[in-house]
Amino acid sequence: MTVPVALNYKSFGQGPPLIILHGLFGMLDNWQTLARRLADDYTVYIVDQRNHGRSPHAEPHDYPALAEDLRHFMESHWIYRAHLLGHSMGGKTVMQFAFEYPDMVDHLVVADIAPAGYPRRHDFIFEALFAVPLDRIENRREAERILMGHIGVPAIVRFLLKNLARQPDGTFRWKFNLPVLYKYYDAIIGPVEGEPFEGPALFIKGGASDHITEAHLPQIEKLFPNSRLEVMEGVGHWLHAEHPDQFLRLVRGFLPKG
């Protein structure tokens, strides 16, 4: 049995609880602006999943463990039923949680991920991150130069650099647990499975993203029979960051307010 960890979080607002989980290499700060906007109608909790942000580093890093962390978080905060929203890896976490603890889920929102297994997409990112000599670089600019040399996409590099922190001795560290995420990468890109979740579910697809395809729809419909799919045309995988207003309209249109 996996031992759950106490997750770092921030909360905003008042009303029915809404818990938001980030994706791989992310952290709760990525969702802070949207959380504040949703706080008019909900008590919004943004959470660092294990091995990310300020949450504990622990093994294993698989979806049963991440779901147990979420259960522990909810029960520790006297939350016995909540709306859940997850993006990418966080989307798989909330799907796994819905399979295991359906009575604790009110409405489920999954952002640009299916319950399927995926090919390896992040090897070049892992290679770039491991290439940064954290004990020898003198500033963030050096890390940025190394990452750009491997990745070449400024938006991805900026996203990753949010996780670079300076330690008291002057050296740097990644906030995420890079060795463990690499060790469990096959589990992270693997499928989530369980008894179908009968509650209301919304899947939001980025129209320019291939994370949800026509081939995934039968599996989604089987595992989430009371689900619907919305497509944000022309938007990629980080749909909540690219078009936050449209994303929020879809979420607000799906979640009940009272």
CA distance 224 to 79: 23
CA distance 15 to 18: 9
Q: How far is CA 188 from the centre of its chain?
A: 11
Is 55 a catalytic site residue?
Answer: no
Q: Which of 61, 237, 240, 243 is catalytic?
A: 237
**Using alpha carbons only, what angle is made at residue 25 by residues 143 and 86, rounded to the nearest 5 degrees?**
155
Is 88 a catalytic site residue?
Answer: yes
Long-range contacts of 154-163 (CB under 8 A, 24+ apart): 156/125, 159/25, 159/26, 159/238, 160/25, 160/125, 160/128, 160/129, 162/27, 162/29, 162/30, 163/25, 163/27
Q: Which of 55, 88, 209, 227 is catalytic?
A: 88
Is the CA virtual torsion 28, 98, 12, 113 positive or negative?
positive
| Residues taking part in catalysis | 88, 237
